[in-house]
Amino acid sequence: MAVSVGFIGVGNMGNPMAGNVLKSGFPMTVFDKNPKAMENLLQGGAKGVGSPREVVERSEVVMTCLPASPDVEALYLDAGGLVDLARPDTILIDLSSVLPSTPRKIGAAGQGARRALPGGPGERRRERGEGAPRWR
């Protein structure tokens, strides 16, 4: 059986990413504050729901793609957010363009909740003492 995938935030950036996951054959549950943003994904076979909570409840892997750091932090860290809602075996992946501090805050909260959440780009390299990544 295929892994169930949830996608929260299917606007300009998230929609094509979610579409590619859906085309790969994964059962998908989607949510966006703007219902029109989900239409093409629903036509492609995704299941639309009315809240992030429903996405987490139905998915083994949850991907998010939101406009900015405050949006991501609120979704993950507010009371009843993704860190609180996710089961210990749920994989949470944020694909948003955010400040470097955002994934660190989420990662720290996840550790406190006994969830394994990855840090931002280069986080693993810094842990190994290799410094920040070099972008070309």
Whether 136 maps to a domain, the answer reads: no
6-38 pLDDT per residue, tens = 999 999 999 999 999 999 999 999 999 999 999
Domain span at residue 90 reads 5-127
CATH number of the CATH domain containing 10? 3.40.50.720
What mean pLDDT is predicted for residues 65-87? Answer: 95
CA distance 91 to 105: 17
Q: What confidence tier does 62 reach under pLDDT thresholds 50, 70, 90? A: very high
Q: Give residue 127's pLDDT.
A: 52
Domain count, the chain: 1
**Per-chain mean pLDDT for the chain:** 86
Who wins on pLDDT, 55 or 117? Answer: 55
Burial status of residue 18 (CB atoms within 10 A of its CB: 0-12, 13-18, 19 or more): buried
Whether 27 maps to a domain, the answer reads: yes
Q: Give residue 117's pLDDT.
A: 54
90-119 pLDDT per residue, tens = 999 999 999 999 999 998 887 766 555 554
Q: Give residue 122's pLDDT.
A: 44
Q: Give residue 85's pLDDT.
A: 94
Whether 132 maps to a domain, the answer reads: no
36-53 pLDDT per residue, tens = 999 999 999 999 999 999
The residues, ordered by sequence, that sit 6+ positions from 93 with a Cβ below 8 Å of its Cβ are 61, 62, 63, 64, 118
Whether 98 maps to a domain, the answer reads: yes
Q: Give residue 44's pLDDT.
A: 97
